[in-house]
Structure 1
Amino acid sequence: MPLLTATSVKKLFGGVVALSNGNLTCESGRITGLLGTNGSGKSTISKIITGVYAKDGGTILYEGREIAYKNPHEAKMDGISMVFQNLSLIPDLTVWQNIALGIEEKKGIFLNNASAVKLAEEIIGELMPSLNVNRRVCDLNPGEQQITEIAKAISVKPKLLIFDEPTAALEQEEVRSLFAYMRKLAKEGVAMIFTSHRLWEVMEICDDIVVFRNGENVGSMDFSKDGKDAEAIVRMITGNTEGIHIAKEYHEIEDVPVLSIENLTYGKYLRNISFQLRQGEVLGIGGLAGQGQNELMLALAGNYPEVSGNIEIHGKKIRLNKPANAIRNGMLLVPGDRQKEGLFTRNSIYYNMIYPKLGLKKQPFFTPEKKYREEAEEICRALSVRAKDIDVDLYTLSGGNQQKIVVGKWLPFDINVLLLADPAKGVDMGAKKDLYDFIMKLVRDKNMSVILYASDNDELISYCDRLLIMYEGEVVSQLTGTEITDDNIVARSMRVQ
């Protein structure tokens, strides 16, 4: 008998149907991939199972009994735990305190902290041995925070473990460690639901998949019986027959420098970085996680007043000591963490589109609202943003549509360099392709220059003309054209070549 069976589950948010006919089955010891585009209903059904949302119809049977949890803690205490895409951690607490929160043991009248630390060290030791459980969460990088979120979900020893985009902030080596731990849990009889937009991950770790589209499941595949057909999976997800492969376009790039960097240095994170970016070029930044890639993108966006080095745009020396300087000089950042760095999710699309302009020095006395609204509507059409109108709050949009707004807000500006810091993190394959297609059209049509950092090597391979490999805060290697392959990226990143 299956551990959990969801049948004809429905969920409405106002008049919007998020889930119309959700069906899902999980078995002990198996990892089921839950796939679909952003807004397809997969996160909604996961949150209904764990008590974040109440269902509006259908039934969910767990261990043969019907369930309807009031909150995630109630679900967790009954053996169902979830790794949330938007982290549920408390920043001012340590790693071990977050892991033990809600399941504390007592030693007499006091909490048994020694037991909590031991539990945290056991789990973290297998997932990320280098992570000190005494560090505060606010001091961790995104990958370390994600590992803490995963450890928190695992700590209750669940019978059913749901992963909602757990690898979005992780590099490949960290993903491998997670997969090893998941296989161990599967052998112990734990059932798992795994959601990821990285197809290679699904193919590697899952035993079977269920595909959701437009609020209902539209297909399934048991890998042991049906084999692993990537093209068939994508057809189920998108509902069309387009393939998954991206034909890389090579084009001549004129030797016209847009951005020149000499000896860029920032503390222990960036050391004597020098490179040029040419007109119409997509320059990639690669390497293993935590080698200074994010710091480089933030430095170029003016985030660090202490940064030193010679920086020129079109031959003019500039200072990138604050974001306003970067924006005025057309150095515009699209961050990967849209929730924290890119958007005001409780505000409207329109507000998010216009707020970068409101800080400019040359502002009209009265805001030209009609002009700005027309501009925002035109950008939403160009980016195929799925929303009723530009006055809806951003949190009601899918992740892919939210990320389009992060890009779209910069389009009215004069862009010299578009800085893409993992722009497709947590975005489904269809929305990712739309996003990159639009950016590459800007590169072609406007001869725009781009610096792209991506944690997914496939994105670097598909879109970059040239790739710089970083190691311990330095640029240690360069790949160009057909040299940009997964083997070469991994070898250079690990200093093998």
Structure 2
Amino acid sequence: MPLLTATGIKKLFGGVVALSNGNLTCEKGRITGLLGTNGSGKSTISKIITGVYGKDGGTIVYEGREIAYKNPNEAKMDGISMVFQNLSLIPDLTVWQNIVLGIEQKKGLFLNDKQAIELARGIIDDLKPGMDVTRRVGELNPGEQQIAEIAKAISVRPKLLIFDEPTAALEQEEVKSLFRYMRKLADEGVAMIFTSHRLGEVMEICDDIVVFRNGENVGSMDFKKDGRDPDAIVKMITGETEGIQVTKEYRDIPDETVFEIEGLNYGKFLRNVGFKLRRGEVLGIGGLAGQGQTELMLALAGNYRQVHARAKVGGNEVTLNKPSNAVRNGVLLVPGDRQKEGSFQRNSIYYNMIYPKLGLKKQPLLTPNKKYRAEAEEICKALSVRAKDIDVDMYTLSGGNQQKVVVGKWLPFDINVLLLADPAKGVDVRAKKDLYDFIMNLVREKNMSVILYASDSDELISYCDRLLIMYEGEVVSELTGDEITEDNIVAKSMRVG
């Protein structure tokens, strides 16, 4: 008998159907991949199972009884735990305090801190040996925070463990450690659901998959019986018979410098970075994770007052020590964390579209809402944003649609340089291609220049004209044209050859 069976699950957010007929089965000791495009319903059904959302129809049977949890803690106490993509950690608490929060053991009248630290350290040592469990979560890098989130979910010894994009912020070795631990849990009889847009990871760790599209499951594949066919999986996800292919374009780029940086330094993160960006060029930033790429993108957007650099936009010197300076000069950032850095989640699409304009010096005394609304609706249509209207809150949108809005808010501006900081992180294969197709059209039609940092080297290979490799805060190598290959990127990132 399956550990959990969800049948005919329905969920609506306002007038948007998130789930129309969701079905899912989990068995002890098996890892089931839950796949689909953004907005297909996969995260929604996971959150219904764990009590984040209530369902509008259908049944969930767990251990032979029907369940409908009121909140995630109730689910956790019953043996169902979830690793959330949007972390559920408290930044001001330590790693071990976050891990045991809600399951603390007492020693007399006081909490048993020693036992809690030992529990946390035992789990963390399996996932990331040497990570300090006494550090505050707010001091950790994104990968370490994700490890802490995973450890928190594991700490209750769940019977069913749900992973929602757990590897997006992890480095390769951390992913390997996580997969080893998942196999260990599977051997102990734990059932798992694994959601990821990284198909290679799904093929490696999962025993079977279920595919959701437009709010219902449209297919499944048992790898032991059916084999592992990535093309068939992509076709199942997208509903397209030809799958999704990206053809690399080689373009003639004029020798006109639009953006120039010399001697950029920022603390221990960036050291003497310099480059020239030509008009209409897509310049990639690559290298192993954590080598200063994110800090470089934020520095170029004026996020750090302590940055020292000589910068020119269109031949004019600028000081990139404030975001407003960058925006006024058409250097515009699409950040990697759309929830925390790129949008106001509890505000509407329309508000998110217009708020950059509200800080302009030449802003009209009375906001021309009619004009701005028409403009926002036109942009949403061009980007194929799936939403009831522009007045719905951002948090109700799928990740891919949120990212389209984050990009779209800059389109009314005069863009000299569009900074893309891992723009497709956590975005499905269809939405990723749509997003890049739109950006590349802007590059071609408006001769727009782009600086792209992507943690997925496939994106750099597919779209960049030139690629800078960073190592310990410095640019250590440059690849151009057909030199931009997976082998070259790995070799230069590891300082080989």
Amino acid of the structure 1 residue aligned with 2:394: L
Aligned pairs (5 A) from 1:48-59: 48-59=48-59
Is 2:376 the counterpart of 1:380?
no
Aligned pairs (5 A) from 1:24-423: 24-423=24-423
Partner of 1:458: 458
CA–CA separation in structure 2 for the residues paired with 1:337 and 1:216: 28
Amino acid of the structure 2 residue aligned with 1:270: L
Contact in 2 for aligned 1:170/1:455 (Cα 8 Å): no
Amino acid of the structure 2 residue aligned with 1:176: K
Any unmatched runs of 5+ in structure 2? Answer: none
CA–CA separation in structure 2 for the residues paired with 1:392 and 1:30: 38
Amino acid of the structure 2 residue aligned with 1:208: D
Partner of 1:448: 448
Contact in 2 for aligned 1:171/1:455 (Cα 8 Å): no
CA–CA separation in structure 1 for the residues paired with 2:243 and 2:210: 19
Aligned to 2:203, what secondary structure does the other structure show?
A: helix
Contact in 1 for aligned 2:16/2:387 (Cα 8 Å): no
CA–CA separation in structure 2 for the residues paired with 1:119 and 1:481: 51
Structure 1 stretch displaced more, 316-325 or 360-369: 360-369
CA–CA separation in structure 2 for the residues paired with 1:477 and 1:174: 26
Structure 1 stretch displaced more, 140-149 or 413-422: 140-149
CA–CA separation in structure 2 for the residues paired with 1:440 and 1:224: 40
CA–CA separation in structure 2 for the residues paired with 1:26 and 1:413: 48
Contact in 2 for aligned 1:32/1:208 (Cα 8 Å): yes
Partner of 1:486: 486
Deviation at 1:130, TM superposition (A): 4.5
Deviation at 1:379, TM superposition (A): 0.8
CA–CA separation in structure 2 for the residues paired with 1:172 and 1:332: 30
Write the deviation string for residues 314-370 of structure 1: whole angstroms up to 9, x where unpaired.
221110010000000111000111111111121111111111011011112222222
- Following TM superposition, the consecutive aligned residue runs of length 4 or more in structure 1 with deviations greater than 4 angstroms are none
Structure 1 stretch displaced more, 433-442 or 452-461: 452-461
Root-mean-square deviation (CA), in Å?
Answer: 1.3
CA–CA separation in structure 2 for the residues paired with 1:184 and 1:488: 35
CA–CA separation in structure 2 for the residues paired with 1:201 and 1:244: 18
Amino acid of the structure 1 residue aligned with 2:397: L
CA–CA separation in structure 1 for the residues paired with 2:179 and 2:460: 23
Go from structure 1 to structure 2 and tell me whether the alpha carbon gap of 1:124 and 1:235 turns closer, same or farther (over 3 Å shift).
same
Write the deviation string for residues 410-442 of structure 1: whole angstroms up to 9, x where unpaired.
001111110000111111111111101000111
Contact in 1 for aligned 2:38/2:427 (Cα 8 Å): yes
Deviation at 1:123, TM superposition (A): 1.7
CA–CA separation in structure 2 for the residues paired with 1:389 and 1:8: 27
Deviation at 1:245, TM superposition (A): 2.9
Partner of 1:434: 434
Contact in 1 for aligned 2:421/2:452 (Cα 8 Å): yes
Write the deviation string for residues 280-315 of structure 1: whole angstroms up to 9, x where unpaired.
111111111111111000000000011002111122
CA–CA separation in structure 2 for the residues paired with 1:493 and 1:132: 27
Percent of aligned positions with the same letter in both sequences?
Answer: 82
Deviation at 1:128, TM superposition (A): 2.1
TM-score by length of 2: 0.98
Any unmatched runs of 5+ in structure 1? Answer: none
CA–CA separation in structure 2 for the residues paired with 1:267 and 1:206: 42
Q: Count the aligned residue pairs.
A: 497
CA–CA separation in structure 1 for the residues paired with 2:202 and 2:116: 32
